[in-house]
Amino acid sequence: MRILIIPFLLFLTSGIPEPAVTLKVEVTNVKNGSGKLWFAVFKPNEKFGEGRPDIYKIMDVKSTDNQVVTFRLEPGKYALAVYHDLNGNNSLDKNFIGIPKEPYGFSQNFRPRFSPPTFKDCEFVVTSEGGMISVKLTN
């Protein structure tokens, strides 16, 4: 009888998500001590860089010190995009050919050359212990 119970218990617990852990994100190379930082954390099933993902935060910038924000996430794969909204218009300003005019950054400090990054370019893993990543803003 015990042999039948063990697989049944494993089946019941396999769909339970792991408890959320803390991911700390440090933003470096902040050149302007005002405005807002917009953080977007994407899951693998979301379109990276398009629209507002389920997980995002907006943070006031009050100094040029490194900025730190935390997220509570389930362990797994994610990709992060951040931009510094210098003028408070709630949008990443771009020039006439689509290149951002405001500072931005991605997890893995990925720097796009000719096209926007993909999820895979910026992917990182949050373990059951949580963790910390650092993102350097463009100049």
Residues of the chain with pLDDT under 70: 1-17
- Output the pLDDT for position 2: 55
CB 132 within 8 A of CB 23: yes
- Output the pLDDT for position 41: 97
pLDDT tens readout for residues 19-34: 899 999 999 999 999 9
In this structure, which topology does domain 17-136 adopt according to CATH? Immunoglobulin-like (2.60.40)
CA-wise closest residue to 39 among 52, 22, 50, 28: 52
- Output the pLDDT for position 4: 54
- Output the pLDDT for position 113: 86
